[in-house]
Structure 1
Amino acid sequence: MHVPDGFINAPVSAAAGVVAAGAVAAGLRGARRELDERTAPLAGLVAAFIFAVQMLNFPVAAGTSGHLLGGALAAILVGPWTGVLCIAVVLLMQGILFADGGLTALGVNITVMGVVTVVVAYALFRGLVLLLPRTRRSVTVASFAAALVSVPAAAAVFTLIYAIGGTTDVPVSKVLTAMVGVHVLIGVGEAVITMLTVGAVVAVRPDLVYGARGLTAPLKLRVDGELVDAAPAAPAAAPAAGGSPKKLWIGGVVTALVLAGFVSFYASANPDGLEKVAADQGIDKNVEEHAAADSPLADYGVKGIEAPRLSGGLAGAIGVGATLAVGTGAFWVVRRRKTAALEA
């Protein structure tokens, strides 16, 4: 759902940029409460993983594909404030390096794909977790539902932005019906990917999953016929059963590189939901050439390398590395500022 330049007029794009900048600023402050020395590196990994999985377009209908948006996944794994930052980093890398998503539309994309998906998904996720039994299965079920709803919600908000600042004269009702309809189908794919990823991490290191914190109910003891909370146990010195955070980080990086560098070659070549709707409804009449169209990595290929498999694989690996470096660096700075504030 990467909005290109030209779909939305300049004033509305600028307003969306202000909203996105405010969300990122709030995310930088909020992430200080969510990140610690263990989860800060994981946040950079989450951004790189989302970048990789977004390269894997999957077919959803005749001539249409979809890809992960990632807001639900990021919010559940590392927290909503940090999740907004993760998606912002991904969109920034895609726009600057790969000419994917307009630069003047960056604010629109962060608002729609980052803020809306994170807010909707995490609100629904927390509500379901409170209602469901306190188990790991509940976390994965809630992640499925949250991701499923977040995608058509983002499509609806894009339609609202188009209604205010669209550069073509297409009935909003047609755009809304088409966008929400196809993105419900894409949401199913998003939900499956989110559920499987969250479930895999929860299975090995539930302590590192933000949305699974407090999952274990306190131990109860019967004293004089009444149940009372047992005293909390001292922190274990040994790492959790799934191994150290370093092993999880290495495994995640390898997985992201394989997905972006190899599996992406087999992704669907059909246009994604927004591209298909734009072409069918005629809202792409005023689309503008991307400012980074001459980038050596534009369209997820390395300029000068003729072999498609090698070109796309190298571009994907470079994208994972760049997103990982920028994301990890940003979250490290946020974590350092928190530490400095506590020591002051």
Structure 2
Amino acid sequence: MHVPDGFINAPVSAVTGVVAAGAVAVGLRGARRELDERTAPLAGLVAAFVFAVQMLNFPVAAGTSGHLLGGALAAILVGPYTGMLCIAVVLLMQGVLFADGGLTALGVNVLVMGVVTVVVAYALFRGLLGLLPRTRRSVTVASFVAALVSVPAAAAAFTLIYWIGGTTDIAIGKVFTAMVGVHTLIGIGEAVITALTVGAVIAVRPDLVHGARGLTAPLKLRIDGELVDAPAARPAAPAATRSPRALWATGLVTALVLAGFVSFYASSNPDGLEKVAADKGIDEKVEEHAAKDSPLADYGVKDVSDARISGGLAGVIGVGVTIAVGSGVFYVVARRRRTPDAPDATAHDRETV
């Protein structure tokens, strides 16, 4: 759902840029309560993983494809403020290096894909956890529903922005119906990817999943036909002292494989926004990307003729740059936790939305 240059007029693009910058500033301040020096590299990994999975367009209907937006996944794994920053980093890397998503439309993309998805998904996620049993399975179920709803919500947000500042005169009702309809289908894919990823991380390191904090499922034993709590076992090491390096390495290898190899087999059909834009005529004034001559434009390495190698190298470079930039940003934010104006170090255990 990367909005290109020319879809939204200059005044509205400027306003959305200012609003998006304000949202990022709020995210930087809020992320201090969610991050520490142990989890900052994991937040960088989440950004790189989202970048990699966004390269994997999957078919959703005749002639249309979709890809992960990632707001729900990032918010649940590392927290809503940090999750918002993860998506902003991904969008910045895509726009500057890969000519994906307009530079004048960066504010629109951050608001639609980074702010709306995170706010809607995390609010719904927390609400569902308040109703469901406090178990790890509930986290996975809530992740699925939150991710599913976040995608058509983002589509509706784009439609609203287009209604205010669109560059073509199109009946907005038709755009809304088409955008929400196709992105509801895309939301199913988003939900599956989000639930599988969250479930996989919970299975090995539930202590590192922001959305699973405080949720424990005691081991049950069946005695004389009744389920009773098993005696608490002494942990081999406190969760807070266990290194996340194994999870980080596994996630990085997975992201590299997805971006460097699996992405070659992604659907070549236009994504939901591209398809609706072509069908409804809202792309009549689309502009060439300012970074169209980038050596990595369109997710290929310039002067590398083999499409498989070119795309794979571009994906690997993108993962590397995203994890480097993201980890650097989050490490700096985490370091500011203990500055006089930062919240107390224990504040990250409080739930934030």
Structure 1 residues 67-216: aligned runs within 5 Å: 67-216=67-216
SS, match of residue 59 in structure 2: strand
Q: Is the 8 A contact 2:77 2:211 kept in 1?
A: yes
TM-superposed deviation, 1:238: 1.9
Q: What is the aligned partner in structure 1 of residue 287 from structure 2?
A: 288
TM-superposed deviation, 1:16: 0.5
Distance 1:35 1:209 in 2: 12
Distance 1:170 1:97 in 2: 32
Q: TM-score, normalised by structure 2?
A: 0.90
- In the superposition, relative to structure 1, how do residues 11 and 235 fare at CA in structure 2: closer, same or farther (>3 Å)? farther
Q: What is the aligned partner in structure 2 of residue 320 from structure 1?
A: 319
Q: Deviations over 1:124-147 (max 9, x none)?
A: 000001110011100000000000
Structure 1 residues 171-320: aligned runs within 5 Å: 171-216=171-216, 238=237, 244-320=243-319
Distance 2:215 2:38 in 1: 18
User: Which amino acid letter does the alignment assign opposite residue 305 of structure 2?
Assistant: E
Distance 2:40 2:234 in 1: 20
Q: What is the aligned partner in structure 2 of residue 230 from structure 1?
A: none
Number of corresponding residues = 329
- In the superposition, relative to structure 1, how do residues 28 and 234 fare at CA in structure 2: closer, same or farther (>3 Å)? farther
Q: What is the aligned partner in structure 1 of residue 330 from structure 2?
A: 331
2:78 aligned with 1:45, yes or no? no
Q: Which runs of 4+ in 1 moved over 4 A?
A: 233-237
- Unmatched tracts of structure 2, length 5 or more: 220-231, 345-353
TM-superposed deviation, 1:338: 1.1
| Structural RMSD (CA) | 1.8
TM-superposed deviation, 1:38: 2.1
Q: Deviations over 1:26-74 (max 9, x none)?
A: 0000000001222111100000000000000000000000000000000
Distance 2:218 2:14 in 1: 49
SS, match of residue 216 in structure 1: coil
Distance 1:326 1:238 in 2: 31
TM-superposed deviation, 1:234: 12
Distance 2:195 2:93 in 1: 25
Distance 1:36 1:7 in 2: 39
Distance 1:130 1:279 in 2: 42
User: Which amino acid letter does the alignment assign opposite residue 11 of structure 1?
Assistant: P
Q: TM-score, normalised by structure 1?
A: 0.93
Distance 2:238 2:194 in 1: 25
TM-superposed deviation, 1:217: 6.9
Q: Is the 8 A contact 2:74 2:86 kept in 1?
A: yes
Distance 2:297 2:218 in 1: 52
SS, match of residue 215 in structure 1: coil
